[in-house]
Amino acid sequence: MPQTKTGILLVNLGTPDAPTGPAVKRYLSQFLHDRRVVDTKRIIWCPLLHWVILPIRVPKVVKLYQDVWMDEGSPLLVYSRRQQQALAKRLPETPVELAMTYGSPSIKQALASLKSQQVNRLVVLPLYPQYSCSTTAAVWDALAAEFRQTRDLPQVVFIRDYAEHPLYIKALTESIKSSFEQHGQPDILLFSYHGIPQRYADEGDVYPLRCEDTTRAVVKALGLDESQYKMTYQSRFGREPWLQPYTDETLKSLPKKGVKSVQVISPGFSADCLETIEEIDKQNREFFLEQGGERYYYIPALNDSPAHIDLLQALVTSKT
Residues 294 and 104 sit within 8 Å (Cβ to Cβ): no
From first to last of its 320 residues, the chain has per-residue pLDDT tens of 679 999 999 999 999 999 999 999 999 999 999 999 999 999 999 999 999 999 999 999 999 999 999 999 999 999 999 999 999 999 999 999 999 999 999 999 999 999 999 999 999 999 999 999 999 999 999 999 999 988 889 999 999 999 999 999 999 999 999 999 999 999 999 999 999 999 999 999 999 999 999 999 999 999 999 999 999 999 998 889 999 999 999 999 999 999 999 999 999 999 999 999 999 999 999 999 999 999 999 999 999 999 999 999 999 999 87
183 known member of a binding site: no
Beta bridge partners of 193: 233
CATH topology of domain 166-299: Rossmann fold (3.40.50)
Domains 6-162+307-317 and 166-299 share a fold: yes
Is the four-CA dihedral 78, 81, 86, 87 of positive or negative sign? positive
Q: What is the DSSP letter of 223?
A: T
Alpha helices in 198-317 (DSSP H): 198-202, 207-222, 247-253, 274, 284-290, 306-317
Q: Please write the tens of the pLDDT for every residue from 261-274.
A: 999 999 999 999 99
Phi first, then psi: give them for residue 152, nearest 5 degrees. Answer: -115, 100
Is the four-CA dihedral 53, 54, 60, 65 of positive or negative sign? positive
CATH topology of domain 6-162+307-317: Rossmann fold (3.40.50)
194 known member of a binding site: yes
C-alpha span between 213 and 170 (Å, rounded): 14
Contacts with 196 (C-beta within 8 Å, 6 or more apart), sequence order? 132, 133, 134, 205, 207, 208, 233, 242, 243
Ordered by start, the domain boundaries in the chain are 6-162+307-317, 166-299
